[in-house]
Structure 1
Amino acid sequence: MLHYAITARRVDATGSVAGARDAEVVLDTSLAGREDALNPVELLLAGLAACMIKGVERAAPLLHFDFAGVEVRLEAERQDSPPMITAITYELIVDSPEPDRRLELLHTNVRRYGTISNTLAASTSLSGTIRRA
C-alpha cells in the first residue's frame, strides 16, 4: 500500500501554501478569492487532470501508443446545500496518429487505472470523452 502526505499552512488572510517534497502550490483560501491561485475545487480538478495525464504516460508504453501531447479540460458542478460536487465532466484531448479504436483503448486504460479518477467516480458522477487533437 502506498502512502501520500502533504503539508499546508496559512500564509495570511489572502492565501495558503501546500507542499510535498520540493514542490509548493499557492492555495486560494481567501474569502475574497484570488486570481493567482487555485481554489479548492480547482485543485481537485487539477488533481484529476494530473491523474489522467499520468495515466496516458503510464499506458502509452504498455499499449505501444504513439502520441505527442495531451490536454484535459474539466468542469465541475457544485450544489450549495450541502456544499458538494455533484458532477465532473472532462474532455481528454490526445495529439496522436493512432486509429479511433486505439484512442478508445487508451481512454479505457486511463479510466480503469487512475487512482484519483476511481476515487472521484466512487463518490460523484464522473463522465467524459476522448478525442484527437
Structure 2
Amino acid sequence: MRSYTISARRDDENGSLAGVREAVVTLDTSLAGRRDALNPVELLLASLAACMIKGIERSAPMLKFGFSGVTVSLSAERQDAPPKLTAISYELIVDTTESDRRLELLHTNVRKYGTISNTLADSVSLSGSIRRG
C-alpha cells in the first residue's frame, strides 16, 4: 500500500500554493478567478492527464510500443446543485506508427492500470478515445 501527502496553503484572497518535495503549484482559489493558475476542476483534469501520460510511459516498454509524443485533451461536465462533475471525456493522441490493434492495446493498459483514471471512473462517467497523431 502506498500513501501520498501534499500540503497547500492560502497566500491571500487571490490564491494559494500547493507543494511536495521541490515542486510548487499555484492554485486558483480566488473568487474572481486567475488566468495564471489552475482551478480545482482543472487540477483534477491535469491529474488525469498526467496519469494517462505516465501510464503510456509505463506501458510502452512492456508492450515494446514505439511512440514519439502524446497529447491528452480533456473536458468535464459540471452540474450546479449539488455541485459535482457528472462526466469527463478525453482524447489521447499518440504519435506512433504502431498498428491500430496495438494502439488499442495501449489504451486498454492506460485505462486498466491508471490510479487516477480508476479512481475517477468509480465516481463519474469517464469516456474517451485514442488515436494516432
Identity value in percent? 74
Q: Counterpart of 1:18?
A: 18
Unaligned stretches of 5+ in structure 1? Answer: none
- Please give the per-residue CA displacement for 1:97-129, whole angstroms capped at 9, x wherever unaligned: 101000000000000000000000000000000
User: What is the rounded CA distance, in whole Å, between the counterparts of 1:21 and 1:119 in structure 2?
Assistant: 24
Aligned residues: 133
Is residue 113 of structure 2 the alignment partner of residue 105 of structure 1? no
Is residue 52 of structure 2 the alignment partner of residue 52 of structure 1? yes
Aligned CA RMSD, in angstroms, stands at: 0.3
Q: Counterpart of 1:122?
A: 122
Task: Give the structure-2-normalised TM-score.
Answer: 1.00
Task: Give the structure-1-normalised TM-score.
Answer: 1.00
* Aligned structure 1 segments of 4 or more residues deviating by more than 6 angstroms: none
Is residue 117 of structure 2 the alignment partner of residue 132 of structure 1? no
Q: Counterpart of 1:75?
A: 75
User: What is the rounded CA distance, in whole Å, between the counterparts of 1:46 and 1:9 in structure 2?
Assistant: 20
Give the superposition deviation at 1:53: 0.1
Unaligned stretches of 5+ in structure 2? Answer: none
Give the superposition deviation at 1:44: 0.2
